[in-house]
Amino acid sequence: MVDVVVRPGVAERLSRMIQLPTVSAELSERGLGPFHAFRDLLDELYPAIAETLEFVQVGELGLLYRWRGRVASEPIVLMAHYDVVPAVEGHGWTHPPFEGRVDAGVVHGRGALDDKGPLIVIVEAVENLLTAGFVPERDVYLSFGGDEETDGTAAQAIVAWLAENGVEPTLVIDEGGAVVDSPLPFVKVSAAMVGLGEKGIATVRLTTSSAGGHASAPPKTTATTRLAKALTRLEPNPFPKKTPVAIREMLRSFLPHTSGVSRVLLRVLVAAPWLTARVFARMGGEPAALVQTTVAATMLDAGTAANVLAPTAHATLNLRIATGQTVDSTLAQLRRAIRDRDVAIELVSGSDPSPESPADGAAFEALSAAVAAAFPESVTAPYLMMQATDSRFIHRTVASVFRFAPLRMSAAQRGSIHGLDEQVHIESLHRGEEFHRALITGMRPPGD
């Protein structure tokens, strides 16, 4: 790895990023001011990047930087997003979500993990390498979207720009898995979880109707009871269970690092993917989500007053679609599970699962080598990402797209993403910077 002088103050720089409320879901209320301020803050905090890299403003919210290497072919693209989900100070936060409190080796605030923390370790690495006079073997693009948490139009515009300008990446890394302890209840190893692909996503709206009227004399079936019955039919999960290739590769990667009963169990699960699917489904939570489409009712809407029958009732479903299925097949399965023609099923938005990148070859080896440099105690393990990222827009045309945020995260920290008390350890930020520095300097020239 190239010798560099790592700048102090990464926590304070992340704090300043967090202080800008780049909440894409509140864009109409807040305006573009925080987003433009974030772009200007990058110029201020990273002068070498501002001076050396070519910058393209793609639409209102897309920030694209090109770091010219010795050759332009087969570049790498490092993706992140700088928008965040809403957070309200009075809703249980220990520290105000947009204060950016730095305390006892931890940076607190909305976006610390999703996704300003993973973004800052990219620009920290690039700034440090630029200051050291390093020139990469191939072009490096930094792609930062400002609306990943809503519809990802900024990333779509950046991907279109790259295609229109003939840029054909050999490796793309976006947010995703992290460095975790005990990735499965029976696997007690430190693992860098690298998403080979991601599940699809669909937002579906259910609507039921009935005669309104006074609540003192309700009919046998109301709009709300019909809707409730429809939702009840979605439990237990009605979707088929299947072990994706990425999960078999994940289990196989854990084998050399286990012993005893855990090793025996892993061998059985690797050899019998049908059994893996059933075991994981019974475990619930994250393991279950790896082997089947999930469905959750996230929004309910019915009625106008306590004593008035609702003429219509609505439920919004969030589905994460397993590999091997599509939006269309998922809707068909949903209709079969609900079994009620009087429940209208409307697809609001959706996208199919991404392809799965190979867990071998030069691209994955380069990523694994960078993990070994920054997290030598951890094994690199492929898996399937359950959430949607901006990288789904580029994975249709690029084979090697990986979802990995090089930060160590506890179970509590992962639970704080989109929740309360989001925070990142400063030591984790240093390791993340080291990962990206190792990745960039370790990339061989094209054709080597």
- Is pLDDT at 49 greater than 90 in this prediction? yes
CATH of residue 210's domain is 3.30.70.360
CATH of residue 85's domain is 3.40.630.10
Q: Is residue 448 part of a domain?
A: no
Give 382-404 pLDDT, tens digit per residue: 999 998 899 999 998 999 999 99
Question: Is residue 241 located within the same domain as residue 364?
Answer: no
Q: What is the band of 237 on the pLDDT scale with cuts at 50, 70, 90?
A: very high
Give 335-371 pLDDT, tens digit per residue: 999 999 999 999 999 999 999 999 988 999 999 999 9
Query: What's the whole-number average pLDDT of the chain?
Result: 95
316 neighbors 201 (Cβ within 8 angstroms): no
Of the residues 327, 351, 375, the one at which a domain ends: 351
What confidence score (pLDDT) does residue 77 get?
Answer: 98
Listing from the earlier edge strand, what are the strands of the sheet with 344-351?
294-302, 312-321, 200-209, 344-351
Q: Is residue 142 part of a domain?
A: yes
Domain extent for 414: 10-196+355-442
Amino acid, res. 5? V
Question: Is residue 296 located within the same domain as residue 424?
Answer: no
What confidence score (pLDDT) does residue 214 get?
Answer: 86
Question: Is residue 35 located within the same domain as residue 183?
Answer: yes
Question: Is residue 368 located within the same domain as residue 408?
Answer: yes
Question: Is residue 145 located within the same domain as residue 206?
Answer: no
Predicted TM-score (pTM) of the model is 0.92
Question: Is residue 265 located within the same domain as residue 150?
Answer: no
Of the residues 351, 375, 394, the one at which a domain ends: 351
Of the residues 318, 351, 384, the one at which a domain ends: 351
Q: Average the pLDDT over 298-303 and give the result.
A: 95
Q: Is residue 368 part of a domain?
A: yes
Q: Is 346 helix (H, G, I), strand (E, B) or coil?
A: strand
Question: Is residue 383 located within the same domain as residue 246?
Answer: no
Q: Is residue 3 part of a domain?
A: no
**CA distance to 3, 67, 157, 231, 331, per residue, from 32 (Å):** 39, 27, 17, 38, 36
45 neighbors 13 (Cβ within 8 angstroms): yes
Q: Is residue 4 part of a domain?
A: no
Q: How many domains does the chain have?
A: 2
What confidence score (pLDDT) does residue 312 get?
Answer: 96
DSSP bridge partners of 443 = none
Question: Is residue 244 located within the same domain as residue 178?
Answer: no
Question: Is residue 81 located within the same domain as residue 150?
Answer: yes
Q: Is residue 102 part of a domain?
A: yes
Question: Is residue 180 located within the same domain as residue 216?
Answer: no
- Is pLDDT at 296 greater than 90 in this prediction? yes
Q: Average the pLDDT over 205-215 and give the result.
A: 91
Q: Is residue 207 part of a domain?
A: yes
Give 148-194 pLDDT, tens digit per residue: 999 899 999 999 999 999 999 999 999 999 999 989 888 999 999 99
Question: Is residue 302 located within the same domain as residue 333?
Answer: yes
Alpha carbons 323 and 365: distance in angstroms, whole number: 24
Q: Is residue 5 part of a domain?
A: no
Q: How many angstroms from the chain centroid is the CA of residue 320?
A: 12
Question: Is residue 187 located within the same domain as residue 211?
Answer: no
